[in-house]
Amino acid sequence: MTEPIPLDRATLSHAATARLRDMIVEGRIPAGSRLNERVLTEELQVSRTPLREAFKILAGEGLVELLPQRGAVVASLSIADIDATFEVMADLEALAGELAAQRITEAELNEIRALQFDMLASHARRDLPGYFRANMQIHAKINAAAKNPVLTETFQRLNQRIYSTRYRSNLSNERWDKAIEEHAEVLRLLEARDGAALRVLLTRHLLNKRDTIVAELKANLAQERAA
């Protein structure tokens, strides 16, 4: 019988990071929650060393805060933080779309078409995690097609900060359905190489997400104050 190949620490850390990231992004661990090492080592089936390395990686992405005396905590963003970050992200995505419309190759378009198909299938199944993964890959592909490394680096850094927030914008079925319509138009404009119209659409797409999230947070705050 062949002995199983043991996973090295880097592999375990990568796996723990990926699973913990999904748990945070999907809201299974709410913002502000302390990350309990004992519970997570059991749930993720890793020792404390790769788990702590995962904490450091996610802290670098802005999803986790490492606090003295408290350990690792899921990061929270204020309404003002969300508003300001989405304002910048809207301009970044708009610029990426405009440049991508000029520079995208047919092979890159085919990749986005395939992801669009996956995203639509996930939406039909009401599989939000699957939808979100395909959605984020589409945005990343558009950004890569802009072929501007400074833009890509800035986009990735800021997008990590609001990753879980973008996920929550689709918890409203009405907003989720609207996002699907907007993505169909994004693909159409890419295929038409219409950068000016795509800039306008992607700005609206991001600001719609922001408005949905801010409205939800304000409603939650009002409920907490009334309780």
The pTM score is 0.81
pLDDT in tens, the chain (227 residues): 333 334 456 688 888 999 999 999 888 898 889 999 999 999 998 999 999 999 999 998 888 999 987 889 998 888 999 999 999 999 999 999 999 999 999 999 999 999 999 999 999 999 999 999 999 999 999 999 999 999 999 999 899 888 888 888 888 888 899 999 999 999 999 999 999 999 999 999 999 989 988 988 888 788 878 87
Domains in the chain, start-ordered, CATH in brackets? 9-74 (1.10.10.10), 79-226 (1.20.120.530)
What pLDDT was estimated at residue 27?
84
pLDDT, tens only, 158-193: 998 888 888 888 888 888 999 999 999 999 999 999
What value, to the nearest 5°, has the Cα angle with vertex 78 and ends 72 and 81? Answer: 105
